[in-house]
């Protein structure tokens, strides 16, 4: 029988929640983790190359969908979130990006005091167990004995080298380690993969925490937070069960479910709560607001040589990849196949990269459904810091009903300028000499799509979410009316309650959000335990001519 009372109750066994649980247990605290999803065992999650499967399976994914997006022709976009032990770290693309130093300095400048790059770098180092695989890198900037294994692919396919060489030929810098001093440039991409297995937050943090005997996982759907005399004292599950916390309740339920749970518990915009018959406990207008994401487009090229992953895109090929992975943990199944990356600035006057490339030696959709025209390759590209903002709102007061998700993608005019630029800069890279032996023609958006109007139409039809929602419980100063949590992750207006996951990001970071989400859990755990790591004095690289040059 699982205990139903502990020092701390954490809602969500995802990227941040697992990290918090591990550090609290390490400090001798008892922890109960409430998780609606089931086990992460099985090859579809643990095999990196199978990543398109779990994010499209109702067993592992909440199955959220956006509202019709007004600036994307009314399209409804999939918004996968992990409904499984490990949360989204068990269904994501395993790309590991810390974010740029300037991202965190912006957090601190906007009211999240103590979250500048100097403050967060020690937590990135504490969490990492980094190996460069003999491919260079920036060891002074990296951690080597943390729970989270970070590695690089073998980069055997010649297309990975061609992408980095093409970036250099186009005049961009090379970076040995975009997670080190210099993010800007082209180089190897990093992944949360260890010995050919997905190294999720569950493998890194939750399994060792469970082994301590101080942590239990409670299966159930959180309905609301329970309060006693203004203090959070537990979590009520659908079905009536109460999971009690002696010290604090911590929400780490995702940027979709954390604001939903706050609102169901009476913390949020007063008028919106009243509309749903929910008694207001704390009027926090920022709950559910400030929703951000990365939107991207797949620029796809047909290949002139049969060297892409398409050779495995048949029953026999998939059987070979699966069998090789099961027996040896090697081959295309042992990597996410995103093994080269690029971070560039879209124009002069932008001080740090605002475009990201994921390169893949296959022309395919993220859901694995469409392999376009046989052999091909693609770069995912999109702006990193769109000014567009959306919101999460309640559909009803029923905890079993999904909230309304409206990203409001492309609602800022600058987004269209940046996206057209991103497509044209990607085409320029694919046109370099390094791709000459491999390039046939452009599949998407297609060589005839050149004018601003035609590009805009392609963007409306073909952009996809990179699945990086964040920002819906913004961290900021206590006197900021739109802040939901203070810089120690405490919910403003109540006691004994914290939020610590990607929902507290004041602004989206450069790149994929799993790394910063785990860092948030690591740092939140120290706030809970009343301690902190000493600040770093490392100096990140900024392009010396950023004011006058795009590259």
Domains contained in the chain, CATH given: 5-67+76-529 (3.50.50.60)
Helix (H) or strand (E) holding 520: helix 514-529
How far is the first Cα of the chain from the last one, in angstroms, to the nearest whole number? 61
The angle, 0 to 180 degrees and rounded to 10, between the axes of the packed helices 117-127 and 101-109 is 130
- Phi, psi dihedral angles at 141 (to 5 degrees): -95, -5
Please report, in range form, the residues annotated as the binding site for FAD.
84, 92-95
Torsion, Cα 457 354 520 219, to 10 degrees, reads 20
CB atoms within 10 A of CB 302: 18
**What is the C-alpha separation between 168 and 186, in angstroms, rounded?**
7
Q: What is the mean pLDDT of residues 416-434?
A: 98
**What is the C-alpha separation between 194 and 329, in angstroms, rounded?**
10
* Residue 227, strand partner residues: 232
Which residues 6+ apart lie within 8 Å of 79 measured at CB? 64, 65, 66, 256, 405, 465, 467, 469
Place of tokens 């998700």: 405
Quickly state the pLDDT bin for 28 (edges 50, 70, 90): very high
Which residues 6+ apart lie within 8 Å of 146 measured at CB? 125, 126, 127, 128, 129
For residue range 32-42, what is the model confidence (pLDDT) as tens digits?
999 999 999 98
What does the pLDDT read at residue 544? 97
Average pLDDT, the chain: 96
Quickly state the pLDDT bin for 136 (edges 50, 70, 90): confident
Q: Residue 81 is encoded by which pair of tokens?
A: 């979130």
If you count them, how many residues does the chain have?
551
What does the pLDDT read at residue 306? 95
* Residue 392, strand partner residues: 405
What does the pLDDT read at residue 139? 86
Q: Dihedral sign, CA of 339, 345, 351, 356?
A: negative
What does the pLDDT read at residue 369? 67
For residue range 253-288, what is the model confidence (pLDDT) as tens digits?
999 999 999 999 999 999 999 999 999 999 999 999
Distance of CA 355 to the CA centre of its chain: 16
What does the pLDDT read at residue 210? 97
Which residues 6+ apart lie within 8 Å of 275 measured at CB? none
For residue range 187-242, what is the model confidence (pLDDT) as tens digits?
999 999 999 999 999 999 999 999 999 999 999 999 999 999 999 999 999 999 99
pLDDT at 366 over 70: no
What does the pLDDT read at residue 138? 82
Quickly state the pLDDT bin for 364 (edges 50, 70, 90): confident
Name the DSSP class of 401: S
The angle, 0 to 180 degrees and rounded to 10, between the axes of the packed helices 117-127 and 514-529 is 100
For residue range 391-420, what is the model confidence (pLDDT) as tens digits?
999 999 999 999 999 999 999 999 999 999
Q: Cis peptide before 445, with omega less than 30 degrees from 0?
A: yes
pLDDT at 368 over 70: no
Q: Dihedral sign, CA of 23, 249, 505, 55?
A: positive
**What is the C-alpha separation between 474 and 286, in angstroms, rounded?**
7
Please report, in range form, the residues annotated as the binding site.
84, 92-95
Q: Which residues are catalytic, by number?
A: 468
Q: Residue 208 is encoded by which pair of tokens?
A: 């060792």
What does the pLDDT read at residue 16? 98
What does the pLDDT read at residue 3? 73
Q: Dihedral sign, CA of 262, 208, 55, 15?
A: positive
**What is the C-alpha separation between 43 and 155, in angstroms, rounded?**
23
Helices (H), 170-275: 201, 207-211, 254-264, 270-275
Helix (H) or strand (E) holding 126: helix 117-127
pLDDT at 303 over 70: yes
* Residue 174, strand partner residues: 186
Residue 382 to residues 29, 70, 358, 379, 464, Cα–Cα distance (Å): 42, 19, 10, 10, 10
Ranked by mean pLDDT, the top range of 126-135, 369-378, 458-467 is 458-467
Q: What is the mean pLDDT of residues 132-155?
A: 88
**What is the C-alpha separation between 241 and 476, in angstroms, rounded?**
33
């Amino acid at each position: 029988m699982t205990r139903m009372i502990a020092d701390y109750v954490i809602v969500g066994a995802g990227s941040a929640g697992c990290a918090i649980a591990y550090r609290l247990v390490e400090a001798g605290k008892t922890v109960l983790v409430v998780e609606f999803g089931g086990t992460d065992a099985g090859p579809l999650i643990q095999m990196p190359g199978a990543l398109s499967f779990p994010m499209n399976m109702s067993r592992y994914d909440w199955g959220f969908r956006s509202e019709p997006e007004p600036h994307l022709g009314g399209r409804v976009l999939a918004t996968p979130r992990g409904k499984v032990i490990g949360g989204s770290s068990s269904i994501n693309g395993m790309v590991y990006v810390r974010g740029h130093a300037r991202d965190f300095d912006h957090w601190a400048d906007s009211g999240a005091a103590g979250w500048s790059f100097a403050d967060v770098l020690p937590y990135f180092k504490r969490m990492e167990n980094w190996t460069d695989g003999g491919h260079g890198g920036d060891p002074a900037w990296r951690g080597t004995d943390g729970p989270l294994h970070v590695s690089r692919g073998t980069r055997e396919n010649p297309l990975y080298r061609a992408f980095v060489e093409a970036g250099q030929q186009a005049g961009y810098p090379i970076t040995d380690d975009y997670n080190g001093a210099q993010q800007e440039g082209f180089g190897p991409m990093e992944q949360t993969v260890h010995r050919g297995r997905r190294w999720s937050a569950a493998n890194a943090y939750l399994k060792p925490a469970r082994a301590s005997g101080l942590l239990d996982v409670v299966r159930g759907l959180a309905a609301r937070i329970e309060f006693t005399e203004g203090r959070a004292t537990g979590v009520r599950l659908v079905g009536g069960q109460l999971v009690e916390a002696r010290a604090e309740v911590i929400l780490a339920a995702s940027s979709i479910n954390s604001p939903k749970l706050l609102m169901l518990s009476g913390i949020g915009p007063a008028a919106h709560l009243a509309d749903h018959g929910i008694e207001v406990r704390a009027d926090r207008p920022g709950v559910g607001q400030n929703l951000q994401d990365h939107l991207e487009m797949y620029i796809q090229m047909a290949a002139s040589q049969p060297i892409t992953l398409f050779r495995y895109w048949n029953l026999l090929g998939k059987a070979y990849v699966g069998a090789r992975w099961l027996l040896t943990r090697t081959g295309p199944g042992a990597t996410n196949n995103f093994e080269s990356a690029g971070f560039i600035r879209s124009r002069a006057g932008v001080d740090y990269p605002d475009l990201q490339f994921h390169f893949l030696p296959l022309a395919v959709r993220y859901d694995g459904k469409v392999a376009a025209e046989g052999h091909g390759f693609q770069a995912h590209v999109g702006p990193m810091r769109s000014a567009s903002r959306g919101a999460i709102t309640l559909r009803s007061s029923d905890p079993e009903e999904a909230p309304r998700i409206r990203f409001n993608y492309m609602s800022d005019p600058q987004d269209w300028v940046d996206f057209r630029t991103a497509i044209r800069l990607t085409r320029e890279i694919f046109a370099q000499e390094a791709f000459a032996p491999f390039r046939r023609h452009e599949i998407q958006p297609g060589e005839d799509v050149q004018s601003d109007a035609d590009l805009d139409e392609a963007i409306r039809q073909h952009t996809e979410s990179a699945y990086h929602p964040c920002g819906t419980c913004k961290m900021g100063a206590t006197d900021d009316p739109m802040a939901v949590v203070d810089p120690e992750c405490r919910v403003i207006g109540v006691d004994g309650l914290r939020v610590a996951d990607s929902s507290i990001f004041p602004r989206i970071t450069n790149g994929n959000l799993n790394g910063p989400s785990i860092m948030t859990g690591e740092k939140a755990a120290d706030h809970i335990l009343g301690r902190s790591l000493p600040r770093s004095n490392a100096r990140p690289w900024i392009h010396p001519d950023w004011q006058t040059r795009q590259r």
